[in-house]
A and B are shown apart, each in its own frame.
Chain A
Amino acid sequence: MEFVLFILFAGMTLTGAILMVALHNLVRAVLAMILGFVGLAGLYLLLEAEFLAAIQVLIYVGAVAILVLFAVMLTQRVSDPNAPVNNNQAWLGFTVALGFFGMLSAVFAPLKWPSLPEQSVSTVENLGKQLIGPYAVPFEAASVVLLVALLGAIILARE
Chain B
Amino acid sequence: MDILKLIYDPFGSIGEGLRGLLTQLLVQSLGLPDWTVTLIMLIAGAGFLVAVATVTMMFLTWLERKVIARMQDRLGPNRAGLYGILQPVADMVKLFTKEDITPSGADRVIYNLSPMLVVLPSLLVFAVVPFANHVIISDLSIGFLYIVAIGSTSTIALLMGGWGSNNKYALLGGMRAVAQFVSYEIPQVLSVVGVLLLTGSLSLGRIVYAQNYVWFAAFQPVAFIIFLLASVSEANRTPFDLPEAESEIIAGYHVEYSGIKFALYFLAEYINTFAISVFATTIFLGGWQGPYLPGWGALLPDWLWFLLKSYAVVFVMIWMRGTLPRLRIDQLMNLAWKALVPLALVNLLLTGVGLSVMQVFGWKLNDFTVFPSLAVFLVLNVLMGAGFLAVFKPAHLPKRKVVLVSRSRAFEVTTTFTGR
Contacts and interface: CB of A to CB of B under 8 A. Distances in A.
Are A and B associated in one complex? yes
Interface of A: 1, 25, 27-28, 31, 34, 50-51, 54-55, 57-58, 61-63, 65-67, 69-70, 73, 79, 122-125
B150 A123 contact: no
B141 A70 contact: no
Contact of A66 (B107, B159, B163): B159
Given A51-B142, A57-B149, A58-B149, A124 B178 contact: no
B146 interface: yes
B145 interface: yes
B109 A28 contact: yes
Contacts of A28: 107, 109-110
B182 A66 contact: yes
Nearest to B147: A54
B35 interface: yes
A48 B152 CA distance: 22
A124 B200 CA distance: 10
B141 A69 contact: no
B155 interface: yes
Given A55-B145, A65-B156, A124-B202, 5 more contacts: A27-B107, A51-B142, A69-B156, A70-B175, A124-B142
Nearest to B158: A66
Given A31-B160, A69-B159, A25 B178 contact: no
A89 to B, nearest CB: 29
A73 B163 contact: yes
Interface residues of B, number: 28
A62 B171 contact: no
B107 A25 contact: yes
A51 B156 contact: no
B24 interface: no
Contacts of B185: 62
A55 B152 CA distance: 11
B28 interface: no
B175 A73 contact: yes
B156 A124 contact: no
Interface in B157-182: 159-160, 163, 171, 175, 178, 182
A105 to B, nearest CB: 34
Contacts of B201: 124-125
B148 A58 contact: yes
A61 B110 contact: no
A51 B152 contact: no
Interface string B81-119: 000000000000000000000000001011000000000
A67 B201 CA distance: 30
Contacts of B146: 50, 54
Interface in B112-162: 140-142, 145-146, 148-153, 155-156, 159-160
Contact of A57 (B35, B150, B171, B175): B150
Given A66-B155, A70-B178, A54 B142 contact: yes
Contacts of A57: 149-150, 152-153
Contacts of B171: 73
B403 to A, nearest CB: 30
Given A54-B142, A58-B148, A61-B152, A27 B163 contact: yes
Interface in B4-61: 35
Please list the 8 inter-chain residue pairs (A to B) with the smallest Cβ-Cβ separation, ordered nearest first.
Answer: A62-B152, A58-B149, A57-B149, A54-B145, A54-B149, A50-B142, A54-B142, A61-B153
A122 B200 CA distance: 12
Nearest to A58: B149
A30 to B, nearest CB: 9
B140 A50 contact: yes
